[in-house]
Structures are given as structure tokens and as C-alpha cells.
Chains A and B, each alone.
Chain A
């Protein structure tokens, strides 16, 4: 049957031609000849019903000839075809006895395309793979155009390369972009392909067998059997392009040249070995991990035992190391512990145990948890101790003027160090204000006497009732290597308001009471001017003398400590402030204040402090506002003369004791020609002490061992081993010395500088510092 594409000189539409062809197929026609006139899609979509239909096309065929062609359909075109021949071919066999233009077999899946000439651009693109059918075949006798086989997924394309239009490149520009499957056999020169998608390999024997077997019918169909021998003479003339598998592609992803290779072969070769900074850097070029040890650590721990003072010792003017005392008690060395204190103070029972406000206890870290360590009681425990042993006699002679706390402390320390001490005292007692002024109820006589007698065991040359005049001073000065002035402050300061001559100086009153010359205050109203600690003592003593009322006045909030105040108030003392006294009328028994108020006063006692009597000193030794001028080491303006205690500035008994010890240390080094090394003055930072380790005590009963256990040993290693156990890396070990001493050390090659030792140390010994 013949179908005309042009009827009566008029072109048949593509729709009509398609209807005629489909009708012919339905009618069971087996051969059709179509004289085409540019119609679209000729010969496609003839769904097979077991029969075969062979279509011969002549005349100009339109685009998409044989598109969606099915098996059973065979099309022979007697000439060239337009674009997209065999588009989505599903099984038709198409023979083109001429060229195919662009897009031949685009999206083809099954069937065969035989091309007698060459192909245009984008041939064999988007071809498919379907395992239910035989693979697609596309045969090109000459060559193909650009962008061949893009996104090819299946089928076999053969490009024979006979008489190519472009003799240098038979596969066109950049074939196989995105190709993921199928095979291309080609014969002849090419200029590249998409290397990221496909590889070019030699034909295997199986390839060759397939090619040589299938090329014969192809050549026959296009009438080129003459070339058979040329095309099958050598397997080596053929090459094959196949897609990389996904696994192969993944393996090829990444750097074209490894960076390490680039560095050594290109970069360092260009800039010099070691890179652009090689000439400046001194360290290894290796890479460090985030966690490092040894010299590459950022931080390192240091065991700083006894480098800082605990709050108790730091705040104790006498620097008594209560933490050391506790440590000795914990080591079952109670006697050593109690004796230790005597190295710091001759009066632990009288001062620590009785009169001292115990600044150590106020500062005690333990107080943050429950109660401070009972240092007061621990002090009292030293009462019965004998005098400690003295060092070997040095032959040096020192004079101490004044046997109050400061003078006694200095003399005690100097004697301990082996020096000969001459102690001069104007009164006939040792003890100064401890003896003369502090009420007996605050400092029982028995205790003081006991400690004075211990003092006397030291073999100090005591010269009582020796008033030191200017002349005497010069004599003492000339006969001693060093003179220490600890004369205290015994002259009451008085405010010269009207009627002040009738006022009793407080210090005199206290002395009188202590020596039994008690005043008769029975049923009397007493006013004490000055509500400091001494004022409170006076108030108590006044009640003891029978006073019916005591009122203490002050121009400012009272400076007395709460304990002293409480004691006075408990007796009935009233404290008034601010009250500035204007006059005292003895006759009317009235004190009038500047604010116009007044108080009845049978007696007025003034207690606003005392100044020293220093009239015996030569001019070369300076005083200022009545006090002796000294530096922090107790040195006066004369290098041979030292000053301690209230003579230099008013203070607590413990201040006087501390000053005495420091002065003695300085005097010792000065006389012995040693270098004076000042004591550590740094207090351990409070946050370093891990109070959380301790449980609050449920009882305040004083048991000496328990007390020692309560001590948190601030800044002083209690040898608990917490650090050694905690260190994850086992970098810390305890090392014991010959004398039973110990230290904790760090193995630098194990330590990462994490700071756990410092963070968990109960005593705050470990310190983390920059590892430079």
C-alpha cells in the first residue's frame, strides 16, 4: 500500500497521515510505502499485534520519524531524516539510508537505528536501560556531532568512523557528559570526552565478538558490506567508552593532587622548606592535639605547701600557727603542739586563752561552716608547760626597757635565741597592763602568775623598780648592743573641758582596783567617758566597787568589742553616743554635754586612751604625736634602738606580742649578721579551701582531738592524698623524704594540666599556673 504525503499538490497534515498509517496497520497491511512531505513522527506508535509492518519512506521525512516506535515495526528511509529520529524508540528498527540530524535516538530505549551516514548534535542522548528488553542499538557509519551520548543510561552506540566529516574528531565536542550507562564503540580519532563520567578502554573479546557479529547485518542494511573487512580487520582500531560506576566515581572524588603532595612538591619548592614562615618558627611543624602533656600543656599544677598563711595565722598579730598546732595534734603529738605556741608567745593561756579577742577565730575558715576552731581553749591548754629550751648562748647583750606584753615578748624571743637580756621595769611587777590594768575577772591572777613564773624560768636579768631616766638610758644604751623600748602607754589622755581636773584617769582607776586600793562607789552614779574596751573594763570594775549606775559615753559609736560590751551591759552599763562632754561640775555632781543634755555623776572616769612617757629618750630617736616612730620591723631612727608595743601605737596585747617577736627576729639577724628574711605575709585566698569536705559539727563540746580534726588546714597540706587518688592520669605521687617529711609531685609527661588537683584539694595547696 502506498500513502501519499501530498495529495493534489497539497501537503497532507501530520495528523491525517498518522490516521492513514494507523488505519493501514489496523487493516493488517504488512508493507507500506510513504511518499512523505515533511510530516511529523512517521511510523511510530504502531502497537504490535503479532504481525510485522515494514514501512518504506521516501521524500522528505519530518522530525521524530519512528518516534515511540514499537517492535514489529521496521522503517527504511531512502534518504536523510530530520531531527530526533527514533525519539523514545521502544523497539522499532529504523534504517536511514542517509544522514540523521540532531538528537537521533534521543531518549531511545529499545530497537535499532542504522545510519548510513553520520549523526548531528546530541545523538544518543538520554538513552535508557530496561532489562526486560534487548538493549538499544544505534549505528553510525561516518561520525557524530557535538554533545554525543549526554546522560546516556543504556544501549549500545557504534560509530564506525568511515570517511568522517571531521577527520580529527569523530565523536564531536565533549561527548558523554552525565553518561551513566550503556556502551559506545568507536573507531577513529576523538578529542576528549567527559572524564568525570566515562572512561575509554580497549574492547574485550566479548565486545569484539558482539561487534563483529552485529556489524554484518548493519552493513548489509545500509548497503556498505564492502567496508566489512576494513571495519573488522582489527580489534585494536576500536575503542570503547563506558560510564564509571557510582562506586568508581565516589572513589575518584576529592583532591586532584593530595595537599600534602602539593605542599612538598609545589609550595615548599616555591617558597622554601618549612613554608612561608619557616625561617621564623622555632617549634616543631607537627600538629598538636587539643589535650597535651608536658611542655605543650597550657597549664601546670604546682604543689605550694605552706606558701600562704591560713586566715588564723594571717590575722593573728602574734602569727601563732594554729593550723600547725592542729596538725601536730592530729599526728598524736599533743605536747609538741602545745609547746609550739611558746615559740610565738610567752602567754598563750593569759592572752589567747583569756584577754585576746581572738582575731584568729574571727577569721577561721571553719567559721563559715559551723564554729571557728576553739583557739582560745587550745591556748589555755598550754598553761602548765615549762619554759622551752633556749638556744646556745650567743654572748650578745640586749636591754629591754619595760616589762609589759611587748617588752616581755621581745625579751622572751631574744632569750630563746640565746641572747642575754637585761629587762628594766619601773614597777615591782612583770606583766605591765596585763598585771596592772586588766580586771582580774577577765584575767585570773593564777593564770597570769603561772605564765609569769614560766617567763622567769628563762633566766632573763630582771631589774624591777628601775625607772629609766635620760641618764640611765644612756648608760643602758652604751652597755648593750641593742636597746628595746617597750614602756607601754601609761599616761592617760585627758580632754581639758571645764572641771576636768576632777576627773579620774581611767588607767589609774584600773591600777588601783587591781592592787586592792578599791574606791568606794557605793550607791554612786558613775560616768565613764570613752566606751572602748578599757571603758568597758572600767564600767565592770566600777560596779564591782559598788556603783549603782554606770553610764559610758562616747563621741562616736563605741570601739569596744562586742564581748567586752556585753559583759559591761550585763552589769547594767548604759552606753550613750554621740556625747561630747562640755563640763563636769563636781559640786553639783553633773556632767553636761555639748548637746545640752546632762547626767548625774558622783564620779567621772576618763578612758580615751593613754600615751607613752618617753621623756628619757635622746632627740636622735624620733617620736610623733607622743609615740615612738618605728618601721614595720620595729626599728627606730636609731639603728641600735627598737620600739615595740603601745609605746609605738596603741594596740591589743597580741599586737604587742607580735611586734616583740618580729623585733627580736630583726635584732637577732642584725646582731648575728644574718640577712633578715621577712615572714610570709600572704593569706591564702579563701575560695581555695574546700569547706564542703567537712560536715558541720553537732556539738560544741571541747575535745582537743576533735578540735584538731575540725581544722581545715588552710594552705598547709594535711596529707589526705585526695589529689593522688583523683588524678585521672595517675600523674601525682606522694614522695617521702628521709626525715619523714613528704611532698606531692607531678609527672609532667602524664599531666594534661586539667587543674583537678587544684580544684579538689581540701587545703588549697595545688596552684595552677601558665606553663611557660
Chain B
């Protein structure tokens, strides 16, 4: 018997404590070891099982012992090596002999703080319930009262404007000989881009693997140049590969500057060599997935490529603090960052801030509304994803995007500025797979565009993550799909060409679906921004809060 002093019975967990339980079929298993070779966390390990059977075959009791040893696969109960349910084992198993099964009554969070270290992970908020946006439906369909359009038959473009739109009275136009023309000295005309209303939100080089980032970027270039769909993508905070910066494709990209200022010296050096202006500059103040929590790129991810692009030494932890170091008030923060970034490209590029969804969004909005150089406001709601954060930040911090955007839009309406300052909504777009519907709903609540992040990772690269904490290993550098790792052994699993193809698929189909939503409303020329009479919801409280109709 094992001496008791060698046991740690206090901390020995049963499988029932863990969120995923491995179902292994001994009868199907060939013991080829592919599952144990691929498991990103060593949650399963090869082992030996003994079976002892007593046979009695004669007409009287004639006991005979038969011992049989078999080899097989066992799940580890060590909390540090818990099964994350990614399913890589099932992916590689040639005989369908193994799969993780979600265990809804697990107590994982109760234990995952060993050594006083709170649980950290990547991914998204674990909340499988339908988001507010997912509950909204489009209830105003043009029937006999006014002519609906046919999305398949009629040609119309889904586009939105990124940048400050001058109100008619402030347009630098004058009448001459009965014709409107631009005034000789028009003064400052804010830069505006016409883009597709779904953008790829900020995910940094570093958070994403080179194959993933390049796949997304190439897909964006393809959409613009082959499909004629002006999709833009934000660089994330981690600089931009100089080759891309200096190429003509730079115009499809939004450069992000955040509190870490990584890679910005390289960008500034590259400005004279740039042949195209970027689509916009995004100043990141917060992230929906982990509001008030900074970013951290772990040292082991900071390899040659990342170090070069970010302008840092190799193998050091890279912290992006939750706040910008030299900004002490909202006025200062917004004014000085927008000024600086506008100046860098001669005021030819829209510059706007991105904040986390928050009750204080209106204060920021009103500040921006007064700033003639502010090009937009991007609000990132609680359902956003991230590469690494404390579980508590992800699960419990943040503000749902729907009412946040709605409040902002109605505030602009009150000021008569709803057509001037575009609002961009992020956080949970496509959470349940309904990307176009979520986008259309946010537009009707008042957004001009939406950002997607984790949706595109799932759609374009089959990210395993879900709202049940499946996989979510982004922070560990061991992403089994090769999406969020800097380990070539892992990211070389991902084919950038196929990522790009899927990006194209996603946007082409979203374009069709958006038309399927907008056409029956009779809209074809402009986005129905703020057209909230088209929305309905079967929840009275949501209806009242969002000032849309209650339907049932």
C-alpha cells in the first residue's frame, strides 16, 4: 500500500472536477499515439491498464486467474494539465476513438488558482446565452405598402463612411452661375473613407501567428482588388510589417497605436517611403474583452520577427499598460493623440479612438463630438476576444455593446450630429454565427460599422474556442490551430492561403446576407444607420431600453 505521507489527498482531483472529460474508446484505439503527440497541454498520456479476471470453466469451481495488460490513453487530473476540450485528439485520431466531452458540472474555476495565481487565458467571455444583439429581429419588412428590393436581382452596394462627415452647412461649397462648386480655399476637409461596414478588428502581429496575420491581410487585399469589396483591417498594437507598410496594400489597413507604442518608430521611419496612406489610425484606449486590463505579450512569444517589428529586444515580456502613460484627462488624451496622429500623415487620414464598452462612453463621445479632427468612435463591448487576460476580466468586466452604442447614437441624434461622427461597434459580432444579422442590427441601433475578431478566427482558421471555455489557450503560445502562437511547429499547420480564401468567403457571404436583410426594408443606396423602427425584440425590457418595438 502506498504510504499516506506520499499522497496529496487534499489536492487530488477527480475527473468530475474538470471541464472536459476524455472519452476514449479502447475497442477502437490502435495505440498509434497521434492523440498524445498532438495534445497541446499533455492532458492525455499513454499508460498501461491491467485487467485481472478469474475464470472458472469446469463443472465445479476451478478458479483460474487471467491477467491481461493493455496500453492505452488516460486523462490527467492535474489542474495544470487539464483538458481544455480543444479536440485536437479527435482531429488526428484515425479511428474516431477519442474525444473530449464537456462536463457542465465541473468546478474548474474553484481550483484554478494554484500558487495564488489567478486563472489567465485567452478567448472570449464564457457566456453561451444569446446576446442582446442576437435577440433582435428585423420586423419591418416592406410588403405591399412600398416596393421592396430583391437582394438577388437588384444591384446595390453596402458601404459606410469612416471619417468625419461635415454637415451640409459646413460643406465648403459655393454657388457660382447656378452651379455648386468647391470653394477655392475650402479649409480643412476631414478625410473620409468609403468602406465595407464589417471590418477586421485589431489583432496584433504577435498575438496572431505570422501565418494567421498574413492570411487575414492577404484576404483583405483580395477582397479589395479582386472582389471590389473595400474591407479594411486594423493592425492591432504591434506595429506593421514594413513590407506591407510600404506596399500599395497599406491603404486597406488601419494602423493602431496603443499604450505600448510598439513598432511605432519603425512606422514613423517608413512614412516617407509609404506610397499609400493607411485607411485610418485607431488609438486604442481599451479593449472590450478585458476593460481596464493591459496587454501582455509573453517573453517566449517575442522571437526575432516580433522583436524586429515591435522594436524591442527578443525574449522579454512586453506589457501594454491599461492606460497611456502621459495622458491625464480625457481632453488631453483625446486632443493630443488625435492631433499627433493626424499630423503624421498631414491630416489626410481619419484618426479615431477605440474604447472599451463602458457607462462612461457618453463622456468620451461628447468630447469627440466637439473635436473637429475626431473621425469616429469605436466602442468594444464585453463579448470581445483577446489573446491573454485574467478570467475575471473577461467574464465579469465590460459593458454589452447594444445599449452602449444605442445611447451614444441617440445622444448624437439629440445634438443633430448623428450623420457626422460614425460609431463603430465591436464585441460579440457574430458570436452565435449570425455575423450579418448582428451587423445589420447594430447599424439599425446607430452604428456605422462593426469590427470582428474572434469570429474571423473561427471562420477563417477554425479556431476551436467557444463560450464553454473550449481551448482558449491563446495566452500559452500553444494554439493547436496555429492561430495565436509564434512556434513555427504549430503555426505552420495553418495555410495562409486557405485563411485568405475563407476571409473572402466570409465577406462575400456577409455582403449577400446584408443585402438579404436590407433589401426587404427597401434600402439600397445608403446603410439604414439608426433605422431602429425596423427592429423588434420579444423582450420588453430590452425593447424599452433600446427604444425599439416590442414584438411577440
Contact = CB atoms under 8 A, between A and B. Distances in A.
Contacts of B221: 262, 266-267, 270
Interface in B201-254: 210, 213-214, 217-218, 221-222, 225-227, 241, 243-244, 247-249
Given A276-B243, A291-B38, A297-B37, A367 B495 contact: no
B227 A283 contact: no
Interface string A295-316: 0111100000000000000000
Nearest to B91: A290
B400 to A, nearest CB: 36
Given A262-B226, A290-B91, A692-B69, A277 B214 contact: yes
The CB with the most chain A CB atoms within 10 A, among B32, B37, B92, is that of B37
A226 interface: no
B152 interface: yes
B552 interface: no
Interface stretch (B44-52, B338-346, B465-473, B542-550): B44-52
A546 interface: no
Nearest to B94: A291
Interface string A143-169: 000010010000000000000000000
B497 A758 contact: no
B214 A275 contact: yes
Contact of A298 (B222, B489, B495): B489
B128 interface: no
A753 B36 CA distance: 8
A376 B162 CA distance: 85
B496 interface: yes
Q: What's the dominant secondary structure at chain A's contact region? A: loop
B493 A259 contact: no
Contacts of A686: 6
A255 interface: yes
Nearest to B74: A759
Nearest to A753: B37
A267 B218 contact: yes
A570 interface: no
Contacts of A275: 214, 218, 243, 496
B105 interface: no
Interface in B485-535: 488-490, 492-498, 500-501, 504
A760 interface: yes
Contacts of B2: 368
Contact of B210 (A263, A281, A292): A281
A256 B71 contact: no
Nearest to B46: A759
Contact of B46 (A257, A270, A271, A760): A760
Interface in B124-163: 152-153, 155
A178 to B, nearest CB: 7
The CB with the most chain B CB atoms within 10 A, among A257, A298, A362, A686, is that of A298
Contact of B92 (A267, A290, A753): A290
B524 to A, nearest CB: 14
Given A271-B243, A290-B92, A759-B47, A177 B152 contact: yes
Contacts, number: 160
Contact of A693 (B48, B88, B226): B48
A728 B30 contact: yes
Contacts of A259: 218, 222, 497-498, 500-501, 504
B37 A754 contact: yes
Interface residues of A, number: 56
A281 B217 CA distance: 17
A252 to B, nearest CB: 14
A296 B37 CA distance: 12
A291 B167 CA distance: 60
A299 B227 CA distance: 43
Contact of B218 (A263, A754, A760): A263
Contacts of B248: 270
B33 interface: yes
A755 B92 contact: no
B225 to A, nearest CB: 6
B27 to A, nearest CB: 17
A28 interface: no
Given A266-B225, A288-B489, A290-B493, A276 B37 contact: no
Given A752-B33, A752-B37, A178 B48 contact: no
B489 A280 contact: no
A291 B480 CA distance: 12
A277 B37 contact: no
Nearest to B482: A288
Contacts of B541: none
A276 B244 contact: yes
A406 B139 CA distance: 94
A257 B155 CA distance: 22
A289 interface: yes
B304 interface: yes
Given A255-B504, A276-B244, A280-B308, A756 B222 contact: no
A692 B226 contact: no
Nearest to A299: B37
A292 B155 contact: no
Interface string A273-287: 001111111111011
Nearest to B155: A174
A756 B31 contact: yes
A260 interface: yes
Contacts of A262: 218, 221-222, 226, 500
A177 B151 CA distance: 12
Nearest to A365: B2
A396 interface: no
Contacts of B348: none
A147 B150 CA distance: 13
The CB with the most chain B CB atoms within 10 A, among A368, A753, A756, is that of A756
A692 B48 contact: yes
Contact of B33 (A277, A279, A298, A756): A756
B416 interface: no
Contacts of A257: 222, 226
A177 B36 contact: no
Contact of A263 (B45, B225, B480, B497): B497
B1 interface: yes
B186 interface: no
A283 B49 contact: no
Interface in A360-375: 362, 367-368
B497 A756 contact: no
A399 B529 CA distance: 99
Contacts of B38: 290-291
Nearest to A725: B71
Nearest to B221: A267
A286 B153 CA distance: 43
Contacts of B497: 259-260, 263
Given A259-B497, A287-B495, A362 B3 contact: yes
B312 interface: no
Contacts of A290: 34, 38, 88, 91-92, 480, 493
A525 B225 CA distance: 107
B15 interface: no
Contacts of A362: 3
B335 interface: no
Given A259-B497, A271-B247, A288-B492, A728 B222 contact: no
A282 to B, nearest CB: 8
17 contacts: A147-B153, A177-B153, A262-B218, A262-B500, A266-B222, A271-B249, A276-B214, A276-B217, A277-B213, A280-B210, A283-B492, A287-B494, A288-B492, A690-B47, A728-B32, A754-B36, A755-B46
Nearest 8 CB-CB pairings of A with B: A754-B33, A759-B46, A280-B305, A276-B241, A754-B37, A288-B492, A756-B46, A271-B243
Interface of A: 147, 150, 174, 177-178, 255-257, 259-260, 262-263, 266-267, 270-272, 275-284, 286-292, 296-299, 362, 367-368, 686, 690, 692-693, 695, 726, 728, 752-756, 758-760
